[in-house]
Amino acid sequence: MSDKHYDALPKAHTTYANIVKSLLPIGNNGKISRDELPQATYFVDDLHIDQNNLNDYRKICGFADNGNVPITYFSVLSQALQMNMMVKEPFPFAMLGLVHVDNSVTQYRAIGEIETVAMSVMFDNLRDHAQGQQFDFVTTVKSADEIIWEGTSTYLSRSKKPATSKDKKSTPRPVTVKPSINKEGVHSIFEVPEDIGRRYAFVSGDFNLIHLHPLSARAFGFPKAIAHGMWSKAKCLAMMGELPDACTVEVSFKLPIFLPSEVELITDPLAQLSSTEDTCQFGLFSAKNDKPHLAGVIALRDENK
């Protein structure tokens, strides 16, 4: 077990210096087995929210400034630990070009923006996929000994040879056909600008080349730069208004949003979430041809977990 404790989140400039070093043709990267993930957990024992970064995140995603941390924000903060884990541990895949395919976050109560919390990130659940291999990053946020937030981000490492075993991942209920519009939910058509990938990268610290420019995206098989999946998830949730204090939000990222694009958000009404048996589905579609970009579901959680 290779655990590491930080006093604060690693800075972007030190993280990307390590990323550049990992790209150099030295070391034993070619000898790392793709049959297992590093047994490592990285911690930030006393995490203080950077108010300027939080405010920038709210603005680019559309969240209200209500004194609480947006439900998707810890997914963003955990990426600094994730990137360090991928370059400092014997990680079996090329970091640049990884595709974010699924994300699940659970918040057990409202979390104040001035709270000091502890965050941990670990690898989990390596499995085969028809286009390569998938794995998870699992993030846990605690206040004292209480788990207040959990998240799982699933990534795909594409390879030329398809995997032979079946994909074992679980996904939210897919939204593959655009539903009829419910007047009590949200229906909105909006523009996703060409520079959103670069702007979000400076807020989130995720400078994956597939998001930044058409030329860099083409190196990884995309005709244009694509929007960050976590930006599209956050944007949808921000447009839906105030979420329950305790809930789980799962999404599957479907077809990429090529930049620029016009997209359409359609949701169930949040008001229908009256018990832990109820769910609220939402989907983000191409406004041009109705093809799905994102399929999501929100479910209430028991605050007395």
141: Cα separation from own chain's centroid: 15
Contact in structure between 237 and 72 (CB atoms under 8 Å): yes
DSSP-derived letter for residue 259 is: S
For residue 54, the one-letter residue type is L
Which phi and psi (to 5°) does residue 108 adopt?
A: -95, -10
Triad 18, 24, 30: Cα angle to 5°: 105
The model's confidence at residue 305, banded by pLDDT at 50, 70 and 90, is low
DSSP labels, 194-214: TTHHHHHHHHH----GGGT-H
Across 17-21, average pLDDT: 56
**Band of pLDDT at residue 170, cut at 50, 70 and 90:** very low
Q: Read off the pLDDT of residues 244-289 as tens digits, 9 standing for 90 and up.
A: 999 999 999 999 999 999 999 999 998 888 877 789 999 999 999 9
Q: How confident is the model at residue 182 (pLDDT cuts 50, 70, 90)?
A: low
pLDDT at 291: 95
Where does the pLDDT of residue 299 fall: very low under 50, low under 70, confident under 90, or very high at 90 and above? very high
The whole-angstrom separation of Cα 153 and Cα 132 is: 17
CA separation, residue 213 to residues 140, 198, 219, 227, 288 (Å): 32, 8, 10, 11, 22
Task: Reply yes or no on whether the pLDDT at 66 is more than 70.
Answer: yes
pLDDT mean over 184-208: 92
28-62 pLDDT per residue, tens:
445 567 788 999 999 999 999 999 999 999 999 99
Strands in the chain per DSSP E: 4-6, 41-48, 99-107, 116-129, 132-143, 146-158, 187-192, 247-253, 261-267, 279-286, 292-300
In the chain, count of helices (H) and strands (E)? 6, 11
Q: Strand locations in 179-291, DSSP E?
A: 187-192, 247-253, 261-267, 279-286
H or E element: which one contains 118? strand 116-129
Distance in angstroms (rounded) separating the CA atoms of residues 154 and 225 = 20
Answer yes or no: are the C-beta atoms of 9 and 44 closer than 8 Å: yes
Residue 188: pLDDT band (50, 70, 90) is very high
pLDDT tens string 122-139: 999 999 998 899 999 999
The single-letter code of the amino acid at 82 is Q
Position 150 scores a pLDDT of: 98
What's the CA gap between 292 and 254, in Å, rounded?
Answer: 6
Give the confidence band of 2 by pLDDT, cuts at 50, 70, 90: confident
Q: Could you tell me the domains of the chain?
A: 2-160+179-300 (3.10.129.10)
Q: Which helix (H) or strand (E) holds 48?
A: strand 41-48
- Indicate the pTM of the whole model: 0.87
For the chain, what is the mean pLDDT? Answer: 87
Query: Which of 24-33, 108-117, 218-227 tops mean pLDDT?
Result: 108-117
Which two tokens mark 186? 């949200």
